[in-house]
Amino acid sequence: MSTKDVVLEQLIKSGGSALSGAKLAQELCLSRTAVWKAIEELRRDGYQISAVTNRGYTLVEQGDRLSLPAIRSFLRRKPTADQIRLYDSLESTNQTAKQLALEGAPSGTIVLADEQIGGRGRRGRSFFSPAGTSVYFTVVFRSELAADRAVMITTAASVAVARAIDRITGGEPRAQIKWINDVYLGGKKVCGILTDAVTNMENGSFEYIVVGIGINVNNKEEDFPEEFRSRAGSLFSVTGKRYDRNRMAAALADEIADILPVFSSGDYLKEYRSRSCVLGRAIQIFGGGHDGTPATAVDIDDHGYLLARGQQGELYTLNSGEITIRSR
């Protein structure tokens, strides 16, 4: 971490009590001038830091900036902080994560960005990714698992997202999942997940997988492009409350770190089903030979596949493609 980041971490840890320049310098093995310079840099970055003679520095207001020290202060699993790489702006966190994975980044490496210039969604769509509002997060995952189990990873990730959102909002309303991996809150899509994998052609297993997650946190409804407005929302637009994105990123990192190593057991599927907003609903199926096939979603099987009953009673088992919910 940079000097600026370690000073910020100490100010966050002090929980609003003043820290003298001398104490900061001593604890961090820095000169007082280095501490002063770091404070000035932090102020330029938008942190409000008050300085009172004979008492010291206090972090008054963090603003809404993503910062590693703040994320670390909220993490349940502190070592995760060393695996996080935070950027102001990227083309796409999935793209950077893939590059890092190619260069040998270990499983668990997390790429976070405040903004994406070319955020990507499923089926070649773009993902609206403005600065200062959301969490764009990609985790690198290495697994020996056969490539045809990708659905399990992506469904496990959606449970992790739903748990993280509930931790932040208090669970009211409860986060729900629309198969395969869109996370909804109060009837609005607040998160999309894009899983990219590179497979080993020789043995059919994964070389590496990147799971990209975009959570709309503090976006106002009117900020969404008009074509998404009826479906898309943010935690703020649904609950009326603003949330700390550092807290959201930390909760997500914790939940992902909890679920990914054990996803192949399928233990999370019970929760996935209970969070499903499609079971029992009339749907339309797209992709995999379907172009709007009407059906009813009946179950999620132990592979994370969706079982849907067609209008002639035929059973579809879906492991890819997309569904929309029909109003009857």
The span from the CA of 87 to the CA of 113, in Å, is: 5
- Of the residues 80, 93, 133, 276, which one makes contact with ligand BTN according to CB under 6 A: 93
Stretch of 58-66, 92-100, 101-109, 280-288 lying at the interface with ligand BTN (CB under 6 A): 92-100
262: left (phi over 0), alpha (psi -120 to 50) or beta: alpha
Best CA proximity match to 238, nearest among 218, 263, 257: 218
CB of 249 to ligand BTN, least distance (A): 12
Q: Check residue 80 for interaction with ligand BTN (CB under 6 A).
A: no
CB atoms within 10 A of CB 156: 26
CB of 130 to ligand BTN, least distance (A): 12
Q: What is the dihedral of CA 125, 260, 181, 70, to 10 degrees?
A: -70
Q: Check residue 77 for interaction with ligand BTN (CB under 6 A).
A: no
The span from the CA of 255 to the CA of 275, in Å, is: 16
- Of the residues 156, 194, 249, 269, which one makes contact with ligand BTN according to CB under 6 A: 194
Q: Check residue 130 for interaction with ligand BTN (CB under 6 A).
A: no
What x-and-dash track marks residues 137-176 binding ligand BTN by CB under 6 A? -x--------------------------------------
Residues 198-217 that bind ligand BTN (CB under 6 A): 212-214
Best CA proximity match to 136, nearest among 81, 184, 93: 93
Q: Check residue 62 for interaction with ligand BTN (CB under 6 A).
A: no
- Give how many residues touch ligand BTN by CB under 6 A: 19
Stretch of 22-30, 59-67, 192-200, 300-308 lying at the interface with ligand BTN (CB under 6 A): 192-200
Q: Check residue 121 for interaction with ligand BTN (CB under 6 A).
A: yes
Angle 266-268-269 (CA atoms, 0-180°, nearest 5)? 70
Give the DSSP per-residue string, 196-210.
EEEE-TTT-BEEEEE
The span from the CA of 159 to the CA of 252, in Å, is: 10
Question: Which parts of this chain interact with ligand BTN (CB under 6 A)?
Answer: 92-94, 116, 119-122, 125, 127, 136, 138, 182, 192-194, 212-214
